[in-house]
Amino acid sequence: MKTGQTNHRRPLANTLTATVVILVLTGIAAISWITIKEFKVQQSVYTKILQQKLTATRSQFRMYLTPFPNYLATLQDWNEAGLLDLEDPAGMEKLIVPLVDPSAQVASVYLVPETGPYYCLTRTADGWDSRLENAGKNPCRSQSWYQDSLESPIDKPIHWSGYVFLPGLGETGLVAGARSLSSSGDLIIGLGMRENYLDQFTATAPITENGILIRRYEDGNVAWLTPQQGNRMQFNSSDELLTSGLTEHQVIGRALMAWGALGQPYTEPFTFRHDGQNWWCSFYPAIDGTDPGELGLIAPASDLGRRLETVTGRVTWLFAGVLGLTMLAVVVQAFSYSRKWRRFTRRRLKHPSTDQALKALIVEGESDHVEFKSTMRWNLRADKPGKEIEKAWLKSVVAYLNTGGGFLIIGLADDGEILGLENDKFPNDDKFLLHFDNLVKQHIGLEFATYIKAEIRHLGEKQVLLVACDRCPEPVYLKMGEKEDFYIRMGPSTRPLPGSRVIDYLKEREQ
């Protein structure tokens, strides 16, 4: 009997052993597969986080700095028309203050001829102070923004200084300068911004805890800030970055060298190592006439996520457990990661990066993810600006953010005929984009700018505005006065959703 029991048990034991071995090997294979997938997903997540933060920072800077080139252009036009009379400070104040007063970041205005007195207008706690300074008290002519503007061609947009002394204010800041030519000769126009005002703005930049935000100028000098240094913008030359022992300087220098070795690509994050740590970095090009220089964000991998650091420990714990707990963990992990992976690899609309792709998108016509609008603000029937026109496309943008993303193309008739952007009657592309940015900021929110990419595209002799919207994980509302509405896409149309249905809709969307 014992022999028979042994013989019966041995095949059963062998079967159980083989089953355990197969389960363990399957578990190892599953965990290995999950780990590899996790690594790939994490790299993509790192890239997306870095691009989102840099895009949001760039949008904030663009909105903040746009008044400077616009005001300089206006002052240049006034000077060429003979409206700027340095011998009449009171008249100049009446002319210039209404122009610059709405933008609190503009602290001073300087009109500096090549010789003789210069005009100085400064913002004070009580308003504005206007005066004509004599030539002996003119520190402007020794500053870089003046020299660079004086030596540049008329069509060069603007020159930004580093931190310099702001005449008339008794403190330091940045100055944007431009050259203007009239019958009386060269006039250099400068607009100053206080250092503490810039620091207050940069303190809100959405960089990571240990990240470094950098601005690289044409001359190779670099302005940078980090939360560890109080978010105060600091300036250094290229030589200082290469020879300094300061950690931030070394990281910036290493990032610039790695970027240069890759051919200085824009909007393509790359990695490098410094002091045994992995860092990620990405650069955006300067916007001509607005940005002082190229904008870059450097962040340690530890700031972008810690899931890769915990995978090894999780796997070790699973191997150390009993077979039942191991297989249970594998099943749980497989289910969890498969959901993450499905969510991450959700179908995204292909961006029409070429003119041919954009034309093909237009030929397909309007759909659940494509909508055409004739203008951004102009009511063609009434032949005047209309808030209802702006609200119509803003609703579509909000709906795309709340649904599955999509493309809004402004400058097209409903049948796809290319009308162009001229009907909105903006003097130039910059003011067109500024109006778009302001409407998004006012009625949707600056925090959602990272999910909205707007660009002017040329189609033959006409232009259109292509607005690409990604799905936002957070609910987005359209704010009109005191009212906030939630919109979604239902087929080719935009529909409002009652507030009582929003939570259920968001839950259903994530399933």
| 307 vs 391, more confident | 391
Q: Which two tokens stand for residue 55?
A: 């895009």
Most confident listed range (205-219, 250-264, 311-325):
250-264
Domain boundary (269, 291, 307) is at: 307
Which amino acid is located at 322 in the chain? V
> Is residue 127 classed exposed, middle or buried when 0-12, 13-18 and 19+ CB atoms within 10 A define those classes?
exposed
Instruction: Summarize the confidence of residues 398-423 as an average pLDDT.
Output: 93
Q: Assess if residue 5 is contained within a domain.
A: no
Instruction: Summarize the confidence of residues 463-489 as an average pLDDT.
Output: 92
Q: Assess if residue 448 is contained within a domain.
A: yes
- At 309 the pLDDT is 47
- At 347 the pLDDT is 45
Q: Contact at 8 Å (CB) between 72 and 189?
A: yes
CB hemisphere CA count around 133 (13 angstroms): 21
Q: Is the pLDDT score of 410 beyond 80?
A: yes
Q: Is the pLDDT score of 101 beyond 50?
A: yes
Contacts of 336 (CB under 8 A, 6+ apart): none
| 32 vs 11, more confident | 32
- At 211 the pLDDT is 82
Asked if 500 and 361 sit in the same domain, the reply is yes
Q: Order of strands across the sheet with 406-410?
A: 370-373, 406-410, 462-469, 452-459
C-alpha 107/C-alpha 121 separation (Å) is 9
Which residues does residue 435 pair with via DSSP β-bridges, in sequence order? Answer: none
Which amino acid is located at 21 in the chain? V
Asked if 132 and 52 sit in the same domain, the reply is no
Asked if 360 and 496 sit in the same domain, the reply is yes
Q: Is the pLDDT score of 476 beyond 50?
A: yes
Asked if 374 and 498 sit in the same domain, the reply is yes
Q: Order of strands across the sheet with 294-300?
A: 234-236, 222-225, 212-216, 294-300, 277-284, 270-274
Q: Assess if residue 144 is contained within a domain.
A: yes
Asked if 430 and 367 sit in the same domain, the reply is yes
Report the domain count for the chain: 3
Q: Contact at 8 Å (CB) between 376 and 465?
A: yes
Asked if 448 and 383 sit in the same domain, the reply is yes
Residue 311 pLDDT level (bands cut at 50, 70, 90): very low
What's the CATH code of the domain at 272?
A: 3.30.450
What's the CATH code of the domain at 150?
A: 3.30.450.20
C-alpha 189/C-alpha 227 separation (Å) is 34
- At 313 the pLDDT is 44
Asked if 185 and 277 sit in the same domain, the reply is no
Asked if 498 and 440 sit in the same domain, the reply is yes
C-alpha 92/C-alpha 257 separation (Å) is 48
What's the CATH code of the domain at 479?
A: 3.30.950.30
**pLDDT tens digits, 51-94:** 677 777 777 777 777 788 889 889 988 988 888 888 888 888 99
C-alpha 162/C-alpha 145 separation (Å) is 9
C-alpha 37/C-alpha 218 separation (Å) is 41
Cα separation values, 477 from 362, 444, 483, 498, Å? 28, 6, 9, 12
Mean pLDDT, all residues of the chain: 80
Q: What is the DSSP letter of 293?
A: S
**pLDDT tens digits, 426-435:** 999 999 999 9
Q: Contact at 8 Å (CB) between 392 and 402?
A: no
Domain boundary (139, 174, 194) is at: 194
Q: Assess if residue 237 is contained within a domain.
A: yes
- pTM of the predicted protein model: 0.46
Backbone φ and ψ for 452, nearest 5 degrees, come out as -125, 120
Asked if 151 and 190 sit in the same domain, the reply is yes
Asked if 361 and 478 sit in the same domain, the reply is yes
- At 22 the pLDDT is 76
Domain boundary (273, 307, 341) is at: 307
Give the structural domain span for 34: 24-65+203-307
**pLDDT tens digits, 193-209:** 888 777 666 666 667 77
Residue 33 pLDDT level (bands cut at 50, 70, 90): low
Q: Is the pLDDT score of 364 beyond 80?
A: yes
Query: Do the strands 370-373 and 406-410 form a parallel or antiparallel pair, or are they unpaired?
Result: parallel
Q: Assess if residue 313 is contained within a domain.
A: no
C-alpha 175/C-alpha 162 separation (Å) is 8
Least confident of 42-56, 147-161, 170-184, 463-477: 42-56
**CA 394-399-401 angle, 5° bins:** 100
Least confident of 12-26, 236-250, 260-274, 472-486: 12-26
Most confident listed range (192-201, 221-230, 293-302, 373-382):
373-382
Contacts of 47 (CB under 8 A, 6+ apart): 269, 280
| 510 vs 485, more confident | 485
- At 314 the pLDDT is 52
Dihedral class, residue 385 (left if φ above 0, else alpha if ψ from -120 to 50, else beta) = beta
Asked if 487 and 505 sit in the same domain, the reply is yes
Residue 417 pLDDT level (bands cut at 50, 70, 90): very high
**pLDDT tens digits, 319-331:** 546 555 656 655 5
Q: Is the pLDDT score of 27 beyond 60?
A: yes
Instruction: Summarize the confidence of residues 431-459 as an average pLDDT.
Output: 93
Residue 373 pLDDT level (bands cut at 50, 70, 90): very high
C-alpha 177/C-alpha 149 separation (Å) is 6
Q: Assess if residue 328 is contained within a domain.
A: no
C-alpha 509/C-alpha 511 separation (Å) is 6
Which residues does residue 296 pair with via DSSP β-bridges, in sequence order? Answer: 214, 283
Q: Assess if residue 324 is contained within a domain.
A: no
Asked if 361 and 421 sit in the same domain, the reply is yes
Q: Assess if residue 115 is contained within a domain.
A: yes
C-alpha 411/C-alpha 11 separation (Å) is 77
